[in-house]
Amino acid sequence: MATMGTSRKQLWYWLLLVIYVFILWVPFYNRLQPTLAGIPFFFWYQFLWVIISAILTAIVYKATE
């Protein structure tokens, strides 16, 4: 039977779902505008999520270790 601490740890894993929702929702970022330093939105949005994913993964790791 799971203790209260275990179920609380499992809630942190839902934060990882944010990554999948925003990356797999392609119609949201399938466009060229706005550009950032000449880079189309499609590319810099995905690159931004690489950084955000690393941060969120680190947060979940620290919270559940």
CA dist 20 and 49 (Å) reads 10
The confidence band for 3, taking pLDDT boundaries of 50, 70 and 90, is low
Model pLDDT, residue 6: 65
The confidence band for 1, taking pLDDT boundaries of 50, 70 and 90, is very low
CA dist 62 and 50 (Å) reads 18
The residues that bridge with 36 in the sheet, in sequence order, are 39
Average pLDDT over residues 22-48: 90
Token pair of 23, please? 């990356």
Q: Strand, helix or coil at 39?
A: strand
Average pLDDT over residues 2-29: 81
Q: What is the pTM of this model?
A: 0.77
CA dist 36 and 19 (Å) reads 21
